[in-house]
Structure 1
Amino acid sequence: MPIKIDHHIQTLPATIPFVAPERTERETGKHFLARLGANENNLGCSPNAIDAMARIASQTVGQYADPENYSLRAALCQHLGIEMNNVVIGSGIDGLLGLIVRIFSSQRDIILTSAGAYPTFNYHVAAYDRTLKTVPYRDDHEDLGALAEAAQKLRPSIVYVSNPDNPMGTWWPAKDIEAFIDQVPEDTLIILDEAYGETAPEGTLPALDCSRPNLLRLRTFSKAYGIAGLRCGYAIGHSELISPFDKIRNHFGINAMAQAASEAALKDQEWLAQTVATNAAARDELSAIALKNGLTPIKSATNFVTIDCGQDGAFAMQVLNGLMERRIFVRKPMAPGLDRCIRVSTGKSDEIEQLSAVLPAVLESLK
């Protein structure tokens, strides 16, 4: 007899939320000239983080990492002004999302998000056999009013919102996020994904308040800090929300290099400030390229610019495919209403120059 596989797992398609650029390179036999699709920090990470990784590699890589992530948590607490029982480390926000769905909801529970928002969250919702409900974006923003209204009506176990947003790059000021939080029922857990918080303008992130019993805020070292390859993020919240993670998390899941590099990067705020400034300049450059080619950039608070291609989703997909064929890796939103756009990450100057050089030819070929 075959080995038993959970019935729900059998019903799911084998998939990943994002097709990696490496897969495309393998299938085409061609390397990309510009990697502008994965919202990575192409500038790299702090030299201090690199030194920390080198130290681990030469001295303690043969040892198990601290399963309590104590030193990194202590550094975060000092940086953020919170207590040790208000933060948990995870393998990036993606890993934390899976744990959150598992901990704070049960089979068939309703979980609420925006149609077209971060697809990895939906991936975990499906994997744990929860019921996904969505509301559409409004004016390229996650619709906080509609989300709050749906939460009041549906009483979901979890509601997810990101600020700044992926895939559109838009954001709400802190006062609007705070008003949204106040409108959500107290028995609904709010996931506030702040992956791009470091690149957002002042006044975007609400002040930290770990006394709220239904709010988890997620942050990462993958974006502005430039350590995506090591997979390290963290959740901030009330101690009663943080403590259940210790019941099911992979205690050795954050490797020694990730812990050391993240702590070193966190302490190098001068390097972070320089990176954020460079990122802002790159956003301006990408926006200028879009305008020069008759396209419309959407004002962004992230490390990417979403560009309205001016027609429908099919046309935007043609633009994306044309760039990919010319070895420029970008991605696009897929939800109706958002799919008229492509999304281009900030990158190094030579990568942006490659985009600028080939985009006119792509658009000309589609006339």
Structure 2
Amino acid sequence: MSRFLTPHIAALPSSVPFTGPETIERRKGQAFRARLGANESGFGAPPAALAALRAAADEVWMYGDPENYDLKQAIALKHGCGSEHIAIGSGVDGLLGLTCRLTLAPGDKVVTSLGAYPTFGFHVANAGAEMIRVPYLGDHEDPEALLAAAKRHGAKLLYLANPDNPMGSWHKAAVIEALVKALPADTLLILDEAYGDLAPEEAIPEIAADHPQVIRFRSFSKAYGLAGARVGYALAAPELARAFDKIRDHFGMSRLSLAAATAALGDQSWLGQLRADLSRAKARMAQIATENGLTALASATNFVAVDCGGDGAFSRRILAGCEARGLFIRMPGVAPLDRCIRISLGPEAAMDVVAEVLPQALAEARA
């Protein structure tokens, strides 16, 4: 251990929240036939975004605009707010890290769901704060229990994803709006809407951009197929949005990423086509699950959680069998959610691999 690390950092585990598919491919010595574990969009990016990437390639020698001006204007137009409400960052993950740096001191309390998106917990641990985890209620995060825990522990942050990862479930807008109204005065709601562009309208709450206790996150990695470009944004009251400028890397966004994301927002017809593609893929995934004696859960995202009817050990055997046969998928990390596997949706060719491999992995796991 390096003697130059702080005691807190030295005590943290040397781990990352996810094992990337590339790591598994290197270990196996072969590429996956279908990459359906990271909730990337196998349907690709909007043509306008790809064209913008190509056009910007000749300008890659230049830094991106440190004020992210054009993208902020496009996002403000989409959400009907001012650009002063927007902070840009390297995906929701990067923005969550900045948020924890901005708001948390060692010993602060943070409330989240047991089994929810693990990268948030990674950043909370880095900040030296204490995480309080509340069990899911069935296949949904439990807003009432989260709120009660925040009040009981005096939580600085309350994290909720809607739609949810890893289960794909969602709450109606009224549920989220009620949670916002009931927040303790000193609690900030971290509302992760990375899948918001794919969710039904009933899931998107009406929350004023000026609300001082809510910060909302959106991603270009899911609906817009730009996971590799690493672009996300936060919507918050101006004083909170401006605070990101205190610590962000002002040249952290590449010129190519900014161009692609700005163009993507101008191609809203893409979302309609993507929703139709995802609807077909969900129906195919439900059919595959049923044919194998499994249950595909309802999803408002670009993935489906499939209830395998067993425990976590059984699901891990299925996961291993799929990996061995060239299918990259993932699963929730804690019980009882780990009775499921999680499969990203993709084009027919990718779904064909699932239809071929899953029965083989299941037979092996059951044996």
Same fold judged by TM-score > 0.5?
yes
The answer to whether the Cα contact below 8 Å between 1:87 and 1:235 also exists between their aligned partners in 2 is yes
Asked if 1:312 is matched to 2:311, the reply is yes
The answer to whether the Cα contact below 8 Å between 1:307 and 1:342 also exists between their aligned partners in 2 is yes
Q: Give matches, 1:1-367, under 5 Å.
A: 3-58=3-58, 60-365=59-364, 366-367=366-367
Query: Aligned equivalents of 2:55 and 2:171: distance in 1?
Result: 40
Amino acid at match of 2:161: S
Query: Aligned equivalents of 1:306 and 1:72: distance in 2?
Result: 33
Cα drift, residue 3 of structure 1: 4.7
Cα drift, residue 186 of structure 1: 2.1
Cα drift, residue 40 of structure 1: 0.3
Query: Aligned equivalents of 1:250 and 1:362: distance in 2?
Result: 44
Cα drift, residue 208 of structure 1: 4.2
* CA RMSD of superposed structures (Å): 1.2
TM-score (ref. length: structure 1): 0.98
The answer to whether the Cα contact below 8 Å between 1:198 and 1:276 also exists between their aligned partners in 2 is no
Q: Secondary structure at the match of 2:76?
A: helix
Residue deviations 1:244-292 (CA, integer Å, cap 9, x gap): 1111111111110110000000110001211122112211211111111
Amino acid at match of 2:45: C
Amino acid at match of 1:159: L
Query: Aligned equivalents of 2:4 and 2:327: distance in 1?
Result: 43
Amino acid at match of 1:272: L
Q: Secondary structure at the match of 1:219?
A: strand
TM-score (ref. length: structure 2): 0.98
Query: Aligned equivalents of 2:202 and 2:46: distance in 1?
Result: 25
The answer to whether the Cα contact below 8 Å between 2:38 and 2:329 also exists between their aligned partners in 1 is yes
Amino acid at match of 1:227: L
Residue deviations 1:275-311 (CA, integer Å, cap 9, x gap): 1221122112111111110001111100000011101
Query: Aligned equivalents of 2:171 and 2:261: distance in 1?
Result: 27
Query: Aligned equivalents of 1:336 and 1:226: distance in 2?
Result: 31
Q: Secondary structure at the match of 2:310?
A: coil
Structure 1 unaligned segments of length 5 or more: list them: none
Q: Secondary structure at the match of 1:99?
A: helix
Q: Secondary structure at the match of 2:203?
A: coil
Q: Secondary structure at the match of 1:191?
A: strand
Identity among equivalent positions (%) equals 47
Residue deviations 1:2-41 (CA, integer Å, cap 9, x gap): 6521111111111111101111111111111111100000
The answer to whether the Cα contact below 8 Å between 2:110 and 2:150 also exists between their aligned partners in 1 is no
Q: Secondary structure at the match of 1:129?
A: coil
The answer to whether the Cα contact below 8 Å between 1:104 and 1:189 also exists between their aligned partners in 2 is no
The answer to whether the Cα contact below 8 Å between 2:104 and 2:127 also exists between their aligned partners in 1 is no
The answer to whether the Cα contact below 8 Å between 1:96 and 1:234 also exists between their aligned partners in 2 is yes
The answer to whether the Cα contact below 8 Å between 1:125 and 1:132 also exists between their aligned partners in 2 is yes
Residue deviations 1:75-118 (CA, integer Å, cap 9, x gap): 11112110011011011000000010111121110011000000
Cα drift, residue 211 of structure 1: 2.3
Q: Secondary structure at the match of 2:209?
A: coil
Cα drift, residue 74 of structure 1: 0.5
Amino acid at match of 1:154: H
Query: Aligned equivalents of 1:260 and 1:186: distance in 2?
Result: 39
Q: Secondary structure at the match of 1:344?
A: strand
The answer to whether the Cα contact below 8 Å between 1:115 and 1:335 also exists between their aligned partners in 2 is yes
Amino acid at match of 2:167: M
Cα drift, residue 139 of structure 1: 0.8
The answer to whether the Cα contact below 8 Å between 2:190 and 2:215 also exists between their aligned partners in 1 is yes
Amino acid at match of 2:94: G
Question: Which region of structure 1 is more displaced relative to structure 2, 2-11 or 211-220?
Answer: 2-11
- Segments of 4+ moved more than 6 angstroms: none
Residue deviations 1:34-77 (CA, integer Å, cap 9, x gap): 1110000011101111111111112x211111000000001111
Structure 2 unaligned segments of length 5 or more: list them: none
Amino acid at match of 1:265: A
Q: Secondary structure at the match of 2:111?
A: strand
Question: Which region of structure 1 is more displaced relative to structure 2, 168-177 or 201-210?
Answer: 201-210
Q: Secondary structure at the match of 1:217?
A: strand
The answer to whether the Cα contact below 8 Å between 2:177 and 2:207 also exists between their aligned partners in 1 is no
Query: Aligned equivalents of 1:253 and 1:279: distance in 2?
Result: 32
Residue deviations 1:200-228 (CA, integer Å, cap 9, x gap): 11211012411211100000100010000
Amino acid at match of 1:310: G
Cα drift, residue 119 of structure 1: 0.3
Amino acid at match of 1:293: N
